[in-house]
Structure 1
């Protein structure tokens, strides 16, 4: 989340740094956003 949202890395850049697939990065970003939404009490809209 930090690499993407705070430092501006693209999904492909993160995948290269972490040596994982782009789909893995997208999955982790989606799960991270959902967890933040849950913790902060936001809606799914």
Structure 2
């Protein structure tokens, strides 16, 4: 199991991701959907 909770990301003073959480069970496949600029890629950095 992979679990991450209460993650956040800031660029200088601007908070772009707040209180992000993710739980992935073994052999489970997940994806993030959303519009451009929503922070999907940022959640994984």
User: Which TM-score applies when normalising by structure 2?
Assistant: 0.25
If each structure's strand is expressed as a fraction of its own residues, which one has the higher value? 2
Structure with a larger share of its residues in helix: 1
With a CA cutoff of 8 Å and minimum separation of 6, indicate the structure with the bigger relative contact order.
2
